[in-house]
Amino acid sequence: MAKRKRDTQQPENKPAEATVALLPQKKHYRQRAHANPFSDHSLDYPASPRDIDWAKHYPTYANTGKLPEFADVGCGFGGLLITLAPLFPDTLMLGMEIRVQVTQYVEDRIAALRVNAASEAASSSTEVSRAVHYQNISVVRANAMKFLPNYFAKHSLTSLFFLFPDPHFKSRKHKARIISPTLLAEYAYALRPGGIVYTITDVKDLHEWMRSHLEAFPLFSYVDEESLRAEGKGPIIDAVYTSTEEGKKVQRNKGEKWLACFRRIEVERQ
């Protein structure tokens, strides 16, 4: 059966003068909820962060020297990125997603939001409209379990998000969980001292797994939600709870969400 083409044209009854891009519809991009990170996915990835042309991802910031500071690992349909983009308009953010169709959805969604924001800003004189531009977010199709250091230089990130990751319930599958001692070394490498790792899940067993592994790692220190809110990170915490498709689903079903955040610390060498 032929694959249905995505509807990218404006409806005929749409006013010709409106420069509004239609947002993509998820029903045209559906894919399995999770992907096997150990499969031999066909991926293009940079040899090192120096080989990435970030101007293709953030054209407005070309030649500024700015690099991504927020990374959403397994970004899904991009809810966190799109929620945080107007809150931190000068902070570059990158979503990493392994699924082909989902990555394409986020890419198309960002492109449409940029067009709409530019149109709105052109017809408005308010500073708020000009600040909401979505030029500071992008997405790559990547397997973060294998190639995260290929995208982020040492101490380049200030925030790292793991929101509702695949729980891999079976014991023999625990090695595929996104939080593990080996991977924590890579996260600590990319995250600058003082940076925050945000984890949230609706699976208590996975929450305890992630928290125990982070607590056991010498370069991370637990920080409670109240302390982060007192530091002004309340909007980030709120987005972590509510912005993703999974988070909204848990909320609709009146389920529990388990949050655990950790600060990257420095340890003096003896």
Separation of alpha carbons 262 and 88, rounded Å: 21
Angle between helices 181-190 and 144-151 (to 10 degrees): 20
Report the alpha-carbon distance of residue 110 to residue 24 in Å, rounded.
10
User: How far, in Å, CA of 228 to CA of 7, rounded?
Assistant: 42
Cα(24)–Cα(108) distance, rounded to whole angstroms? Answer: 7
Helices (H) and strands (E) in the chain, counts: 9, 7
- Residue 166: active-site member: yes
- Residue 247 burial (10 A CB sphere; 0-12, 13-18, 19+): buried
Distance CA 267, CA 265 (A): 7
The four Cα atoms 85, 87, 91, 96 give a dihedral, to 10 degrees, of -40
Q: What's the sign of the alpha-carbon dihedral 117, 119, 120, 126?
A: positive
Q: Which of 185, 100, 181, 190 shows the shortest CA–CA distance to 151?
A: 190
Of 72, 108, 166, 202, the catalytic one is 166
Pairwise CA distance, residues 250 & 229, whole Å:
23
Q: Active-site positions?
A: 166
